Amino acid sequence: MSKLSHYAADKEWGYGIAFRLTSPTPVSQDTAAEMARAAMKELAEASVRRGATMIGHIKCILKTDSGYVKADTIGVKYGIFVDAKLTGPIQEGVLVVNSIIVGLDKNTNVELTRNTIKSVAERYGFNVVIMEGQA
């Protein structure tokens, strides 16, 4: 096992959270996909600014009645993959985000994930409710 692999295994923190998103006006597939892309990009960038040494994997899926939008990255320099399959505009859904960040403590990962994703979704016109503790 390489030194980097050992370091990563000892210092990475995973976090998962769900957000309920609603919008007073219909949101197009293109806008929903751009929101997911921006969320992944901004979370990766914020993590590196706060001291992350590597992005293990950041991913999200927005599940709606008309389909889904998925996005993920292992770091901005590697690109951000987005896949959207919606049958029409959306006004509500659940956005689930998982972030595995190397080199940040768990509390920082939680803070960045919660705040960055909420901020991005709000900027794209969604009302956001964090669903922690809800099944």
Q: How far is CA 20 from CA 64, 92, 118, in A?
A: 10, 7, 10
Q: What's the pLDDT band for 18 if we cut at 50, 70, 90?
A: very high
Which CATH number covers residue 120?
A: 3.30.70.1130
pLDDT confidence of residue 14: 84
The arithmetic mean of pLDDT across residues 116-132, rounded, is 95
Taking every pair of Cα atoms in the chain, the longest distance, rounded to a whole number of angstroms, is: 52
Residue 33 lies in a domain: yes
Residue 29 lies in a domain: yes
Residue 34 lies in a domain: yes
pLDDT confidence of residue 120: 98
Per the structure, the complete domain to which residue 87 belongs is given by 13-130
More confident residue, 3 or 82: 82
pTM (2 d.p.): 0.88
User: Do the beta carbons of residue 84 and residue 68 sit within 8 Å?
Assistant: yes
The SS3 of residue 76 is: helix
